[in-house]
Each structure stands twice: as structure tokens, then as C-alpha cells.
Amino acid sequence: MEAKLRNLYALQQIDLNLDELEELKGDLPSEIRDMEAEENSLQEQLTALETTMRTAFTQREHADDEILSLREKSERYKSQQYQVRNNKEYDALTKEMDSAENTIARLEKEMEMFEGKATVARHDIDGIREQLESLRGVLDERRAALAEVSKSTEEEEARYRHERDKVVHKISKGELAQYERIRKAKKGRAVVTVRKGACGGCHATVPPQRLLELRQNRKPYFCEHCGRIIISDEIAVTVAPSA
Ligand SMILES: [Zn+2]
């Protein structure tokens, strides 16, 4: 059991070192993540608008083609009117022509509508392209800044990661999950030492009987107040500092 506690404490020390390196990066990683999400959403909007614009242009062209063929038809009716033999035929052609004119008028309105739709989309596309461009400029700067910080710490980080892998290997999955859970809930500190008879994490007094048990290093002792794992100094001093 001593070894188990020692491994947990060693893992905690490594993680604290990694946390410190992570802190050097400041807000850069989360800023970059946020900006990448925004970039994706803008890109999606852009794609949708481009589809809208293309569709509107195609619809306008179709209407235009239809108008052309209706005009031709109308012209044909007109010339046919000179050849009719009676009023009935004449009226029928007039009716056809009126109907063609009405359809043309409707199509012309539709063309205007499609044109308007495409213009609005194009205007929005220009706006989003501008937004994307300036966002990408800032994103590149942030990435370069992060790369700069990462470059200065990557060796150290790799060393800790390697040590971490070795230690994690010796800890059971259940214990590791428990450790991660406490770590997440307690600002990165899941394993603490006992200090002057109190929890090194929250300073709550450890009852004397528990203190005796804890010093036997037989099983993990959980602080009754904060839930962290408290280990004895004896364990702590046998863990080589990983800094
Ligand atoms: Zn505590």
C-alpha cells in the first residue's frame, strides 16, 4: 500500500509541474479554441450564403429564359392573328397573348426578387469574408504566440509526460479515475500531505485516531472535510521531487 500512496503522490507532483507549464500559456489555448469555433461558424454561414446566392442567380436565369420563350410565343400568336378566319380564333389568340403577358409580368417580378435575394446574400458574403479575414489574422498571431511559449517548455513538458506515463501505469484505473475526479474538483490538488495534524488542502484538523491510521500508510485516507487524499510526510519525503 505504501507504494500505491507513493505513486499517487508522485503523480500529483508531476501534474502540478505540468499545470505550472500550462499556466505559462495563459489564456492562449482557450482563446484559440474560441476563435476556431467562431471561424467554423463563420465558414458555415459563408457556405450557406454562397448556396443561397448561386440558387438565386440560377432561378433568375430560369425566369429570364422563360420570359424569352413566352415573348417568342407571343410574337407567334400576333402573326397568327393576321391569318385567322373568324372572331373566335382571333379571340382565342388574344387570350393566349394576354395569358403570356401576365406570366411575363409575374416572372419579371420574380426576377427582381431573385436579383434582390442574390444582392443581399452577396453583401452578407462580403461582410463575413471581412470578418473571417480579420479573425484569421488574430488567430495566426495567437497561434504563433502559443507556439513560442510551447517551444520554450516542450522539452520539460515531454519529460513530465514521460514520467507521468510511467507512474500512471502503476496506478489502477479506478484509483486514477478517483484521483482525476478529486483533482478536477479541487483546483488540481487531489493528494496533499498532513500538516501539523491538519489536511494540507483545506486545513481541517484530522482526528488523532485517524492521524495514527494515516501514518501507518496502509490505505488512502480521505479528508472528511474536502475529500482530498491525505498522505503522511513519510510518504512525501520518499517521493523524489520531479522538478
Ligand atoms: Zn481537506
Q: Say what percent of the chain tops pLDDT 90.
A: 90
> Nine-digit cell at 40?
467554423
- Burial of residue 121 (number of CB atoms within 10 Å: 0-12, 13-18, 19+): buried
Q: Which pLDDT band holds residue 73 (cuts at 50, 70, 90)?
A: very high
pTM reported for the whole predicted model:
0.64
Q: Is residue 64 located within the same domain as residue 143? A: yes
pLDDT, residue 243, reads 43
Q: Which pLDDT band holds residue 132 (cuts at 50, 70, 90)?
A: very high
Digit-coded pLDDT (tens) for 17-71: 999 999 999 999 999 999 999 999 999 999 999 999 999 999 999 999 999 999 9
226 phi/psi in degrees, rounded to 5: -110, -10
With a cut of 90, say whether residue 80 has pLDDT above it. yes
pLDDT, residue 1, reads 66
Instruction: Give 16 Cα–ligand 1 centroid separation in angstroms.
Output: 18
pLDDT, residue 242, reads 54
Instruction: Give 1 Cα–ligand 1 centroid separation in angstroms.
Output: 21
d(CA 201, CA 182) in angstroms, rounded, equals: 12
Instruction: Give 191 Cα–ligand 1 centroid separation in angstroms.
Output: 10
Q: Is residue 38 located within the same domain as residue 147? A: yes
Question: Among the listed ranges 103-112, 179-188, 209-218, which one has the minimum average pLDDT value?
Answer: 209-218
Tell me which residues have their CB within 5 A of the ion that is ligand 1.
Answer: 199, 201-202, 204, 223, 225-226
To which residue does cell 500505491 refer?
A: 4
Mean pLDDT value across residues 188-197: 94
Residue 20 resides in a domain: no
| Residue 242 per-residue DSSP state | -
d(CA 64, CA 62) in angstroms, rounded, equals: 5
Instruction: Give 172 Cα–ligand 1 centroid separation in angstroms.
Output: 23
pLDDT, residue 238, reads 84
Mean pLDDT value across residues 129-152: 96
Residue 194 resides in a domain: yes
Domain boundary among 120, 152, 184: 152
Instruction: Give 235 Cα–ligand 1 centroid separation in angstroms.
Output: 18
Instruction: Give 189 Cα–ligand 1 centroid separation in angstroms.
Output: 10
DSSP states along 164-214? HHHHHHTS-HHHHHHHHHHHHHTTT--EEEEETTEETTT-PBPPHHHHHHH
pLDDT, residue 241, reads 64
Query: Which residue segment(s) compose the domain that 196 sits in?
Result: 173-238
Instruction: Give 190 Cα–ligand 1 centroid separation in angstroms.
Output: 10
Task: Give the count of domains, the chain.
Answer: 2
Residue 107 resides in a domain: yes
